[in-house]
Structure 1
C-alpha cells in the first residue's frame, strides 16, 4: 500500500471509529450514539450493575463555540452584557492558535507603514494581554494557558466546557434550536439550547451542520475586482503550520532525524524562504490544500511533522548553520495551527477592495491592518514560490462591518474569527488573532442585545447599530472614524473641566469621544508630573454612580507574548510603564469632598469606579503614580447614573 493511500484510509477509519459521535447515520436521524445498555459495569461502591448513560440538557442565552481568542472575547462580552453564556472548546486549554499547543503570536495591527509601529487593539483583548503581563512575567506558554483559564473563570456569567465539540446543529426552521455536543473526557452527550449561537471555532462545524452558506478556496479576480486573486477560481486554501523551539545545550548536540522525516530540498527553494530566528520556529513549514482541507487534516499533520524535521535536519546537518551546533529541539508542536477552511456567507462579503480602499462602513464594529499576507498555494510543497506573497502592507487601518459577522440564511447565528464572511484575499489580513478578537467582542455584545430584546442579528443592522457601536466604544473597543456620542454620558454635560497641570494635549479632549491619539491627531491630556488632578464641574447637581476612565498603555507598542521575548521601540515584554498604577476618586456633595473609590494596583486601561448613587456638583480624579513614567496620560472620562 502506498504511503499516501495508507494515510487516506487511516483517516477514514479514524472518522468511522471516532469517539466524537459526529457521523450521521444513513437515515439522516443524527449522530450514531454508543450503545451503553451492554456495558458490564459492576460498581463496587454500590454493589450494583449500572448503565453509564451520561446525557445532559442545558439552556443558555448565548452559546459560543470555540475557545480561541475570538471566542473568549465573545463569551466575556456577552456575559458582561447580561447574558448567561456557555463557552465550548474542543481542546483542554483555551487560546486556540495562541495556546501552548501551537504558540502563535497574537498579532493584529502590529506593523503599519512606514515605521512598523502598531495601532494596538483595546477592549477585552487588551485586558487579556495585560492580565498575562501581571501574572506571567516569566512568559511561560504553559502558564499563559492558565492565565486565559483564569480570565474566563472569573466571569460569573460563563460556564466553560473544555474537551467538548459541537458536532451538529438541531434546527427549528431557519434557527438553531440547540447544539449537539460531545465531551470526550466525561463521555457525556450534551444538548445545549440557546437563543443565540456564535461560531468562533475556525472550521465552523456547527454552522455548517446548520446549513449556513459557506465557501472555500480562492475567488476569481473578476468576482470582487480583486487584483491579487487568481483569474480563475480554484480550491486552494492557506495551509497549517507546526512550530518548534530550540535550546542551547552549551555543547555540541547530534541530531538524527526520525523515520518519517521528509528531506528539505534547499536547492529548489525560493530565496525568500529564509531562516531568520530559526531557533524560535519557522512559520513557513506549512502544508495547504486545493480541496477538503478539513478532511485531509490528519494527512497534513503527518506531512508537517515530516517537513518540520526535514528543515531541522537541514539546519543541523547541512553545514550551512555552524551556529546551530549546540542547539537541540526543546519543544515541538503536534497540533498544526490552522489559517483557513470554511468562510461563511453573511449579508456582506468583505473583500480586498474594501481593505485596500479603506471602505467606510456605517456598521463598522472592528478594524484590522495586518498586511495582505497570502501564503502560497501548497506551502512547503510549492518550494519554487515564496512562502507568502505579502502583497501589500497598510499605512492605516481598515474597517470591518457588522454585516460580515452573522449568517445570511441562519437567523440566530454569528461568526467571529477566520470563518467570517470575506474573500480569500481579505482573509489573508483579517485572520490574525487580535483582529479576530475584536470581532468576537462585537458579536458578544450583539448576541446579548439579541437575547435581551428578543431580536435577531440582522435586526441590529437595521434598528440598533448605534446602540451596538456605543456599547463597544464604552467598553474600550475602538472603531475608526466613529467617535462616541453616548447621550447617557453625564461627563459630556459638565460645564467645566480642568487639570492641575498639563504637559501635552488638552484636558477638554477627554470629552471628545475618541479614546486614543489617531491619524496624527491628539486626543489626550497629559500631566506635568505626579500627583496630578482632573476635575469636572456641573452647574446643577447630577446623580451618578459610575465613573469610567481610559488611561494610557502606549498603543504604539505591542505587548503580546512572543517566543523570543522581543523588546524594541515597537515591542515590549513587561507591564506598560505608562499605565496608571494608583489613583483616587472624590466627589463633591453639598460642598463637601467625599472619597468614593481608590486603586493601588490598577491592571487595566479602562478603569471603572462603581459606588452608591450620589448627587454631586463635581468629580475629581487624583492620579498618584504610574508603573514607570513621570507623567500620567488620560484619553477619556465618562460619568453615568
Structure 2
C-alpha cells in the first residue's frame, strides 16, 4: 500500500509539473510577431523586465521582413530609438561585400524615398531585402536573449482572463497560459485588445464625427494614380448592363461623400521579384486560374495605359519591392471587409484568396495575349526571388494588413493632429507620412463605367507628434494593456501612422511605459508622463519638432 501511495503521489506530482510547464510568467507579455513586438521586447529587457513574446507568426518582423523593403518613411529625421538602430544594422549589413550576391553595390544605384537608399552620412539603409530584415530581427532576439513562443495563437473566444479591469493571463489555442503584469498587443489585427473587450472601431468614420475632411466615402477624389482615367465599361459586354458586371466590381452603390462605412482599404502582398536569371522562379499558374477575372486590366491596356512597372521599386541584388499601382493592380479591392473580425479559419481563406488573385495577376501579365507584347516581354525578365521566403514557395509570409481594428482609447488621433492643426499632448514618437489610404471599393458609375474609391494622399506640412493616449485604453476598460499598432486613431490619421518605422517607435515607447507602470505599481493610464518622456529621450526617441 505504501508503494502504491508513493506511486500515486509521484504520478500526481508529475501531472502538476506538466500543468505548470504549460503556464509561463513574465513582467511583460507581448502578443504578436511584428516589428513593434520585437522593439517592445528589446526595450523591456533594456529596462530590466522579464518579457515573453507570444507570436502567432513563425517569421518575425511582420511587413518589415515580409516584402515591404522600399520603406515608407516620410521625414527620416524623426525616426529614432530602436527603429533607427534597425535601419543602421541594415546599413552595416550592406556595407559587407558578401551582402551583394546578385548585383555589385555600385550597380544598385541609390534611389530611396526622399533620401538616398544608402545614407552614408547617417549610416542608415532604408531599402532592403526581406531576408536581411528578418536577420536583423533575429539578431535582436539572440543578443537580448528574448523568449519567443512562435506559432501560438490567442484563444480569442475565452483565452483572456481579467480581474478588476486588468488582464491576468492569456491562453493560446495550444493550451499554454501566459501570466503577466502588463500586456502589449502588437498585432496588426488587434486580437488581444478586442478579446479584452477594449473599445475599437473598424472602417471609416463619417467626417462629421471628428470634423475631418478626408475620412468617410470619397467618390471622385483622386490623389494617386489608382483610378480609371478612361471611361471603361463595367459590363461583360461593353455598354450592356444585362450582360452582368465584370469580375472584381461591386454591385453595391458607393455611398455619399463624407459618410462612414465599414469598408477597409485594400490589402495585397509586397512581392520580392528578381531580375537575375539565376535567382528567378517563374510566376506560378494558380490551380484555379481564370483569365476572365482580369478583363478589366485588359481594357485598361486597350485604352493605352503604360504604367505597369512604375511600382517595381528596386531593392538590392536585382530585386524589387513590387507594390500596387494603377486602376487595376495587386490591391484586391473590396475583398477584405470581414478580415478584422473573422475567425482564424476565415482569415486563412481570405489570405488564400488574395494570394490566388495576385498570383493569377502576375501569370496574366506574363502570358495573356491581351497584355501588350512589350509588357509581356519585359515581364519575362521577372520572377519570384528564389532566395526569399524559401519555406513558402517564395511567396511573402505576411499579407499587407494596411488597416484592421483601431482602438478607441484615451486619446484619438485625427487628421487635425496629423496635419498640424492642434498640439498633440504627451508625445511618445513622431510620424511624417501622408494621410495614405488605398482604395476601399470598386463600383459602377451612373453612366455604367467602372471606378475606384477611397484613395487618399494628403501630405502634412511637417512631422507630427503621436500621443501616449493613443497607446492606452480608456481607464475604465483595461488598466494594464498597451496597443502600439492598432492605435487609437481615425481612419485618416491611421493612414499616416500605419508605417513600419512608426510601429517600431511606438512598440519601444509602449514597452518603456509598461516597465515604468510596473515600477510604480500603477495603471498605465496613471503613469507620470515626465518619467516616460525622460526614458524615451534617453533612448533617443524623437518626440516633437
The two structures have a TM-score, normalised by structure 2, of 0.69
Structure 1 SS opposite 2:175: strand
Task: Output the CA distance in 1 between the equivalents of 2:306 and 2:538.
Answer: 44
Say whether the 8 Å CA contact 2:37–2:186 is kept in structure 1.
Answer: yes
Q: Is the 8 A contact 1:346 1:406 kept in 2?
A: yes
Q: CA contact under 8 A between 2:166 and 2:479: conserved in structure 1?
A: yes
Q: Which whole-Å deviations, capped at 9, do the CAs of 1:208-240 have from their partners, x for residues lacking one?
A: 111111111110010011111122211111232
Q: What residue in structure 2 maps to residue 239 of structure 1?
A: 266
Q: Retained in 2: the 8 A contact 1:243–1:332?
A: no
Alignment of 1:371-390 (within 5 A): 371-378=434-441, 384-385=450-451, 389-390=455-456
Match of 1:392 in 2: 458
| 1:41-440 alignment, distance < 5 Å | 56-99=22-65, 102-105=66-69, 107-108=71-72, 110-111=73-74, 118-135=76-93, 137=96, 138=99, 140-156=129-145, 158-167=146-155, 168-182=159-173, 189-230=175-216, 231-248=258-275, 257-262=285-290, 263-264=293-294, 265-267=296-298, 269=300, 274-278=308-312, 280-283=321-324, 284-287=329-332, 288-289=334-335, 291-294=337-340, 295=342, 296-317=346-367, 318=371, 319-321=373-375, 322-330=377-385, 331-333=394-396, 335-378=398-441, 384-385=450-451, 389-408=455-474, 409-417=477-485, 419-440=486-507
- SS in structure 2 at match of 1:286: coil
Distance apart, 1:69 and its partner CA: 1.3
For the 8 Å contact 1:339–1:431, the answer to whether it is kept is: yes
Report what 1:477 is aligned to. Answer: 541
Contact persistence 2:68–2:321 (CA under 8 A): no
Q: Deviations over 1:341-364 (max 9, x none)?
A: 111121111111211135322311
Pair 1:315–1:161, CA change in 2 (3 A): same
Q: State how 1:580-619 maps to structure 2 within 5 Å.
A: none
Cα deviation for residue 388 of structure 1 reads: 6.7
Determine helix, strand or coil for the equivalent of 2:153: strand
User: 2:184 touches 2:482 (CA, 8 Å); kept in 1?
Assistant: yes
Q: CA deviation at 1:324?
A: 2.5
1:78 Cα offset (Å): 1.9
d(CA) in 2 for partners of 1:255, 1:131: 32
Tell me: CA distance 1:197–1:274, structure 2 relative to 1, closer, same or farther (3 Å).
Answer: same
Distance in 2 of aligned mates of 1:467 and 1:254: 55
Residues 567-613 of structure 1, C-alpha deviation per residue, up to 9 Å, x if partnerless?
Answer: xxxxxxxxxxxxxxxxxxxxxxxxxxxxxxxxxxxxxxxxxxxxxxx
Give the superposition deviation at 1:410: 0.9
Structure 1 position 391, deviation (Å): 2.7
Summarize deviations over 1:545-566 as a string: whole Å, max 9, x none. Answer: xxxxxxxxxxxxxxxxxxxxxx
C-alpha contact (below 8 Å) 1:169/1:207 kept by paired residues: no
Distance 1:67 1:218, change over 3 A: same
Question: Residues 176 and 197 of structure 1 are in contact (CA less than 8 Å); yes or no, is this contact kept in structure 2?
Answer: yes
CA contact (8 A) 1:376 1:385 kept: no
Q: How many residues align?
A: 415
Task: Check the 8 A contact 2:55/2:152 in 1, yes or no.
Answer: yes
Secondary structure in 2 matching 1:315: helix
* 3-state SS in 2 of match to 1:198: strand
Deviation at 1:142, TM superposition (A): 2.7
Task: Verify: 1:442 aligned to 2:509, yes or no.
Answer: yes
Q: Secondary structure at the match of 1:357?
A: coil
Q: CA deviation at 1:381?
A: 12
Structure 2 gap ranges (5+): 1-14, 100-127, 217-257, 313-319, 386-393
Secondary structure, counterpart of 2:176 in structure 1: strand
Range 220-229 or range 136-145, more displaced:
136-145
Q: Describe how 1:461-472 pairs up with structure 2 within 5 A.
A: 464-472=528-536
- 1:381 to 1:396, Cα distance in 2 relative to 1, 3 A: farther
Larger strand proportion, structure 1 or 2? 1
Structure 1 stretch displaced more, 166-175 or 273-282: 273-282
Structure number having the greater helix percentage: 2
- Distance in 1 (alpha carbons) for counterparts of 2:151 and 2:464: 36
C-alpha offsets along residues 431-487 of structure 1, whole Å, 9 cap, x if unaligned? 111011111111111000011110111102xxx111111110111001114xxxxxx
The equivalent of 2:250 in structure 1 is none
Alignment partners' CA distance in 2, 1:360 and 1:421: 17
Q: Tell me: higher relative CO, structure 1 or 2? Use CA pairs within 8 A at least 6 residues apart.
A: 2
Give the C-alpha shift of residue 274 in structure 1. Answer: 4.5
User: 1:452-467, aligned counterparts within 5 Å?
Assistant: 452-460=519-527, 464-467=528-531
* 1:367, distance to aligned residue in structure 2 (A): 0.9
Aligned-partner Cα distance in 2 for 1:237–1:65 = 23
- Kept in 2, the 8 Å contact 1:166–1:179? The answer is yes
Contact kept, 8 Å, 2:212 with 2:414, in 1: the verdict is: yes
Tell me if the contact between 2:41 and 2:511 (Cα under 8 Å) persists in the aligned partners: yes
Answer yes or no: is the 8 Å Cα contact 1:169–1:179 preserved in 2. Answer: yes
Structure 2: distance between partners of 1:255 and 1:336: 18
Whole-Å separation in 1 of the counterparts to 2:534 and 2:144: 22
State the Cα distance separating 1:327 from its structure 2 match. Answer: 3.2
- Report the 3-state secondary structure (helix = DSSP H, G, I; strand = E; otherwise coil) of the residue aligned with 2:198: coil
Q: Deviations over 1:289-326 (max 9, x none)?
A: 57422325233223322321333234323224132334
Whether the 8 Å CA contact 1:66–1:90 is kept in 2: the answer is yes
Give the secondary-structure state (helix, strand or coil) at the position aligned to 2:288.
coil
SS at match of 2:466: strand
Q: Distance in 1 between matches of 2:415 and 2:322?
A: 29
CA distance in 2, matches of 1:88, 1:282: 30
